[in-house]
Structure 1
Amino acid sequence: MSTLTEAITLGDFAKAKQFAAQYDLKTLEDELFLLAYDEGSIAPYGFVCAMLIEKETSRWHYIASILLSMAINHLDGAYFTAFYHAKRASELSPDDSSYKEALLFYYEIPEQPLSREEALKIATEMLREDPKNKAAKRIK
């Protein structure tokens, strides 16, 4: 096995972790997204879950939510599982407004896992911190 992609595709997450250590987190996120999107593969999500088992962080939950909501959203239940990860990211880092902003996406999609009441609450909190936040202003 010679690449990150091969390791992830074959489910060898220990080897994939070794390859992943050579990347900064944003580049790794991009690589995982491309693999999931281009191949329609759920394997990158499996790798992220393995990383979450090892150490739960808001960033890994965020990456999981991005993979599910944007790369492999055609899978049944993807948006609701992605919403779980987005919520968990926000819970783990409550002072990071980028995770709150990511949550608002789930109000704006047809499946609407985020209720209107929850969206308004989040948007209100965000506007208190940043009155010019465009994502929060869209919530009505």
Structure 2
Amino acid sequence: MHPSETSSDGSGLHERIYEIVRQIPEGRVATYGQIARWAGRCTARMAGYAMAAVPFSSDVPWQRVINSKGEVSTRSHGDGHVEQRDLLEAEGVVFNARGRVDLGQYGWSGPGISEQEMNDLLWRG
């Protein structure tokens, strides 16, 4: 890995992830796995850690990243998942009775990704 791609603490990777997440339009969502693939050299878990590390005063719309089931992931501490759902609903994202978002309707196709590629990504998790 090239030194400029990420520092030992992952801040370079985090910034790459944040740049992608900043592009997600209001009322749209992406999964941790999608963000990881778009960022490159990353896993869904790493994308999750980056979202958990978003500074409080950041302009990163962290609420727009959800899990591959279309659900808001619960947190081990606090009630951030409640805030995340509230923020998404305020943007017009609808959750079904099972607490899931229709990724086909609300999923973001990503930076320069076709609808077919988006569907392929959705079904691979």
TM-score of the superposition, structure 2-length normalised?
0.40
Identify, as 1 or 2, the structure richer in helix.
1
Bigger CA radius of gyration: 1
